[in-house]
Structure 1
Amino acid sequence: MKKYMSILSDLEQRMMEGQYRSGEKLPSVREAAKSYGCSVSTVLRAYSELERRHAIYSISQSGYYVVDRQPARGARNEGQTIDFASASPDLNLFPYLDFQHCLNKAIDTYKYNLFTYGDLNGLEKLRHTIVSHLAGDQVFASPDQIMITSGVQAALEILAKMPFPNGNETILVEQPGYDLYLRFLETEGLPVRGIARSTAGINLQELEEIFKSGGIKFLYTMPRYHNPLGTSYSTVERKAIASLSAKYDVYVVEDDYMADLGEERGFEPIYSYDSTSRVIYLKSFSKIIFPGLRLGAAVMPRQLLETFRKHKRYADTSLLSQAALEVYIHNGMYERHKHKIISQYAARIRLLNEALKRHNTDGLIQAADIRSGVYIPFMLSQTVNMERLMKRLEARNIRVEPGKGFYLSGYPERDKFLRISVSRALPERIEEGVKAIIEEVKRSGGRSSSG
């Protein structure tokens, strides 16, 4: 990252955290240059960019000041709902001005090309840009392997319905797993089978037995920041899944939709261990920018490309959105915004863990050591009356998501839990919410881990 962008990101973070408040004067250009160990011109460039984004303003002969902002529309006032249920991005973190700039630049760059039906595979320049973008996550592919879809969900639906070279039909899904995809598979009447996954991981011996028994078309998995468990597979597990896939001719659909929300370095997806072209890698751009953008990328093995194209049938995404995303990634804005939201969500996860440590003294809730992503499941005793708990939390204006909906119909619910999401939780209200949840768990029949 260029130095001025690093300064820009740091200043935005400080303003977000309230270190520089509305109307407050920023350090002088010379003071900032000394503090950041850079030239005056570098600081000026960062300040100019902040001014262009309407985050600060300058007064001649005085300096730079933080813009006086009204509370954002998405923010909730004291006394209203504490939202631990929503998985959609925080409205207040959306890069509106950045993306508006990218839309304008896309219109200027592509002009009349934006009013055609477009390429079935997606905008060619975007696919080339995504190749470089994915390489940073150890996903190496060529532009012709990339299919741009209307979000990851669209790719998942196509993959579920299209035939695979192994001739198998049953889709294997983790339990618990992504609720919307489970409901889609059941509604469409597609053959589906579950395999247990816990915060400790997956039973690789059981996975091999299922692969060996035959009939599995593909395993659908979220190896990183799993929804709803929040945990990630270990390197051993990711390598083993790739190896078993090759051994038993079972494909793997790797949904890495939260790839950009982690602080850890060196996480290599299952795709990077795939030596026999049986892993389909899916990447979403909605969790970083806007859900309404509805853009995802599927990295396809070459033997599946033509079948996928036939089932996709038409270009299903806006060329203008694709062009704007290409500008957004290419000029470094995506990377800068990614670091901004990583720090925001990581801070919320820390607040939640600290609150849990302070108030969960009776051990009513078991929680994995999760420090990245947006999900932490609160594991509860089987004695908890979930219906009563949900009603009590609703009465206190606290929204949570019970674990039952993340299982296939008829699949035994092995763990009783609440999926806690920090995505839309206001940092200043996290502790209040955690304390209230613990109180209501106790009133609803919760027992300590030692009891």
Structure 2
Amino acid sequence: MDKLILEDGDTLYLKLYNLLKKDIESEKLTYKLPSIRKLAKKFKVSNFTVIKAYELLEKNAYVFSKKGSGFYIKYNRNNHFFYPEDYMVNEEFKYNYFTDNCSIDFSSASPKNNFFPIDILKSTINSILDTQGEKALLYELPQGNIEFRKCILKTLKTMDIETKLENIQIISGAQQGINLISQVLIQNNDIVIVEDPTYKGAINSFKEKGAVIERIPLDKDGINIELLENFLKYNQIRLLYIIPIFQNPTGITLSQEKKYKLLNLAEKYNFYIIEDDSSSELYFKDKIFPLKSLDNKDRVIFIKSYSKIFMPGFRIGFMIVPPSIVSEVIRTKYSTDISTSGLNQRIFQYFLENNIWMDYIFKLRKEYSIKQELLYNELSTITEISFNKPQGGLSFWIKLPPDITGEAVYFKLIKEGVRIIPGVVFSINYSNYLRLSFAQCNSNQIKKGIKLFKKVLSELININ
């Protein structure tokens, strides 16, 4: 069993809980937990601290207690699963989309498929095949179809981004962009800084290339600049990965002041910033411009995915790559999958040029601003939780009472037919958080789901 780091006395039992949970999941503990007195002596903590940690493990279905005998391991890796939309890049849990009968889905942050312009998609495909024939189905250049890239170059002007055609790289979704940059820039033991919490797919990609991950917590207006700068004074980093607009999972948007500070730090300490943008179009008040729009030193690698809010299976996006690494990115892209689907590139070019994309986004903003307001009002009736209202996006980041974990809520809600994502999916430091997304829910489902959430939360609170 690893060493228990003692810092905050009021959360000591949570530290012990997370340590024991990790040992159970890795099967270091497989039958029975040590006695309360033995563990308290080992870590020099009170019996009460151990009892609270054990009770939390029991509440989260990791152990069960036998009166007079102790606590026994109940956890089964094959049955322990969560339900986020980015399940394929989270190696810690088994995800299975066919093992429950949930009718209310607060886990997916992708728009419901009834918004997809399927009829327009069909006619667009037919038109492309009629006019371009087999050419539309051949391999494209690794960097992407030149006409599509020209179209993107025009679109970028609406985002206040200035770049050159040769710096635009077409990719098959944001994850591929992150993977490509990891392969090109990261060497073993390079330091990569990420926000805490953040999208785990990015962290996995960096780790696969041997990066050392450092986490910097978020303030209400984005990454904590003071902590970041203090770290940079004594450490050379390779990359900073951020989601500055409607951050996943918190929904936080980076302030204008911090945007300028980040760019100055990147120049001063010589590192790149990966800006991951998957949902900036879904603003409900004022339009927010990317960090890249302020970048005049080519410090920001801008990754834009259209898949997330269009059709998750329609893998398409692009990167703006600094001139110094363009050639290497193209070579790496070619060695990875030769090129992104030429048909998909032509389809999306047609959507952009004929305002189909913008009409779709306008419809989403209108619909989801109403849903966000409804969910906000429903959540506001729950006094035991705390949260902020994002300026856009499709989710809320909920802080639970300190002795209630997101996992406990998850397991109880799944039995009620409701899916959520516990905070530990994004960071082990946020065990008493969860993310609620309203993308897949109608008004009745939102109301019913929050009613069940209240019920479950009340049950968990009354256990203590």
TM range (shorter): 0.7 to 0.9
Determine if the alignment matches structure 1 residue 135 to structure 2 residue 164: no
| CA pair 167-276 structure 1, distance change in 2 beyond 3 A | farther
Q: Which residue does 2:449 correspond to in 1?
A: 433
**Percentage of pairs with the same residue:** 26
What's the offset of the Cα at 1:115? Answer: 3.5
After superposition, the Cα gap between the structure-2 partners of 1:275 and 1:177, relative to the gap in structure 1 and judged at 3 Å, is: same
1:5 aligns to what?
none
Matched, 1:237 2:237: no
Which residue, 168, 172, 181 being the options, matches 1:150?
A: 172
Post-superposition offset of 1:91:
1.2
Q: Provide Cα deviations, 1:59-115, integer angstroms capped at 9, x if missing partner.
A: xxxxxxxxxxxxxxxxxxxx9521101123211111111212221222234323224
Corresponding residue for residue 10 of structure 1: none
Q: Structure 1 unaligned segments of length 5 or more: list them.
A: 1-78
| Aligned pairs for 1:16-35 within 5 A | none
Q: Secondary structure at the match of 2:288?
A: coil
Aligned 1:120-269 pairs, distance under 5 A? 120-163=142-185, 169-269=190-290
8 Å CA contact 2:397–2:435 kept in 1: the answer is: yes
In the alignment, structure 1 residue 317 sits paired with structure 2 residue 340: yes
Asked if the contact 1:221–1:252 (Cα under 8 Å) also holds between the matched residues in 2, the reply is: yes
Give the letter for the 2:218 counterpart.
Answer: R
Deviation at 1:191, TM superposition (A): 2.5
Residue 405 (structure 1) aligns with = 425
TM-score by length of 1: 0.76
What TM-score, normalized to structure 2?
Answer: 0.73
1:283-302 to structure 2, matched below 5 A, reads 283-302=304-323
Deviations 1:333-377 (A, max 9, x none): 1111110111112111111011122x31xx211010224210101
* AA matched with 1:222: I
Q: Within 5 Å, which residues of 2 pair with 1:74-93?
A: 81-93=103-115
> What secondary structure is seen at the aligned counterpart in 2 of 1:233?
coil
What corresponds to 1:355 in structure 2?
Answer: 378
Structure 2: gaps spanning 5 or more residues: 1-100
Deviation string 1:212-243 (CA, Å, 9 cap, x unpaired) is 32331110000001110012111111121112
Counterpart position of 1:393: 413
Alignment partners' CA distance in 2, 1:387 and 1:337: 35
8 Å CA contact retained: 2:406, 2:434: no
Query: What RMSD in Å do the two structures reach over aligned CA positions?
Result: 2.2
Specify the SS of the correspondent of 2:238: strand
- Distance of aligned partners of 1:82 and 1:312 in 2 relative to their CA distance in 1, 3 Å threshold: same
Deviates more, 1:212-221 or 1:148-157: 212-221
- Say if 2:400 is the partner of 1:380: yes
CA distance in 2, matches of 1:96, 1:179: 31
Deviation track 1:233-272 (CA, whole Å, cap 9, x = no partner) reads 1111112111211111111000011122112334221111
**1:417 aligned partner, one-letter code:** Y
State whether structure 2 residue 441 is matched by structure 1 residue 420: no
Corresponding residue of 1:75: none
Write the distance in 1 (CA, Å) between the matches of 2:130 and 2:462. 60
1:170–1:191 contact (8 Å) kept in structure 2: yes
| Structure-1 residue corresponding to 2:300 | 279
Preserved CA contact (<8 Å) 1:221 1:253: yes
SS in 2 for 1:282: strand
Alpha carbons of 1:103 and 1:181: their partners in 2 closer, same or farther (altered >3 Å)?
same
- Paired with 2:163 and 2:131, the residues of 1 have a C-alpha distance of 26
Q: Does 1:112 align with 2:112?
A: no
Moved more, 166-175 or 130-139: 166-175
> Who is 1:103 aligned against?
125
- The residue correspondences of 1:13-52 to structure 2 (distance < 5 A) are none
Secondary structure of 1:89 counterpart = coil
Match of 2:461, SS state, is coil
CA distance in structure 1 between the aligned counterparts of 2:113 and 2:406, rounded to whole angstroms: 30
Q: Aligned AA for 1:319?
A: G
1:335 to 327, 344, 358: 358
Displacement of 1:200: 4.8
